[in-house]
Amino acid sequence: MRRKRFGSYSGIGGQAVLEGIMMKNKDQYAVAVRKPNGEIEVEVDVYHGVMHGSKIKNIPFLRGIFNFLDSLILGTRTLNFSASFYEEEEDTKKKDTFFDKMLKGNAERILMGMTTVFAVVLAIAVFIVLPYFLADCLRDYIRNDSLMAIIEGAIRILIFLLYVISISAMKDIKRVYQYHGAEHKCINCIEKGRPLTVRNVMRSSRLHKRCGTSFLFFVMFVSIILFFFIRVDNPVQRVAVRILLIPVVAGISYEIIRLAGRSNHILVGILSAPGMWLQRLTTKEPDESMAEVAMKAVEAVFDWKEYLYDTFGYVVDDSWLVDEEPAEEKADE
């Protein structure tokens, strides 16, 4: 009999999109979207990512940079796919025709690239540059550079929290947060050794160590440490250093969250705790229809029955997959 390893790493991950979920397993990904008519549309495709086939993607700290770029590119692609079901069809056709003619059939690829670049630039401006200038306003009153670095980091975290809280008031974003919760619940359900049913998904936790929210927390935490020790006197150079260190911060943060997703050590749990707390803001409890969408995305790219057999040592009886009447059970935390 195989040894049961509850909380085992499955290798799948994903993100919430507009009225749906994207799930990725190795190079294959699936996007499941609940269309306006109530049907679930599932698209399965392959994304190899930048530097595909290069050994550099296996080098610790460097691989995190390319994984971060891949997540931005694939995230934008899948978000555009889900949004296409909710755009005005006539207006969309007109825009597609105009841009396709102007850009010689490369409209979607070019516009997606421009959107990704704009999002990165905006994020750098808001979460990297702005906190520096806000903290710098206090330089006449605070002469201690170490304290200034800590204040800058605190401002960065505060801006991030205000951003998350403010957009959560939007109806569409609240639903995205619910789908985000459904994504985590599906992965937790499988990694806890439970058959993938609506009931099991709904009673699983909406928090997960490998979440992008936790990654963003590590980015902020690592940036505080690096900016604390790496200092220059010139104000322009200070801003330049912060921007140039972004790949380094991303690489280190990726290794931390990668470790967090594969280890149940108590120290890893303590390190992951703040990111898990933040997830209470970026995930909401989904309804059963959202869980169904997430399950479709998982099943399109991942053989969870084989995973349960290989990891936990039992065969899933198909009779288990028929959900019983919902029981009043508290979700895992």
Give the Cα separation of 112 and 105 in Å (integer).
13
pLDDT confidence of residue 106? 61
Q: Among 50-59, 216-225, 288-297, where is mean pLDDT lowest?
A: 50-59
By DSSP bridging, strand 28-34 and strand 40-46 are antiparallel
pTM: 0.86
pLDDT confidence of residue 328? 43
pLDDT confidence of residue 2? 47
Tokens at residue 304, please? 């969870």
pLDDT confidence of residue 104? 57
Tokens at residue 140, please? 């006449």
Tokens at residue 215, please? 């990654």
Residues 125/134, Cβ–Cβ less than 8 Å = no
pLDDT-derived band at 54 (thresholds 50, 70, 90) equals: confident
Give the Cα separation of 257 and 221 in Å (integer).
12
Compare 110 and 10 and report the one with higher pLDDT: 10
Give the Cα separation of 176 and 124 in Å (integer).
23
Could you read off the pLDDT of 116-137 as tens digits, one per residue? 788 888 989 999 999 999 999 9
Give the range with max mean pLDDT: 1-5, 86-90, 239-243: 239-243
Could you read off the pLDDT of 276-318 as tens digits, one per residue? 999 999 999 999 999 999 999 999 999 999 999 999 887 887 7
Give the Cα separation of 333 and 285 in Å (integer).
12
* Residue 139 one-letter amino acid: R
Tokens at residue 167, please? 């957009």
pLDDT-derived band at 108 (thresholds 50, 70, 90) equals: low
What CA dihedral angle connects 281, 286, 291 and 294, to 10 degrees? -30
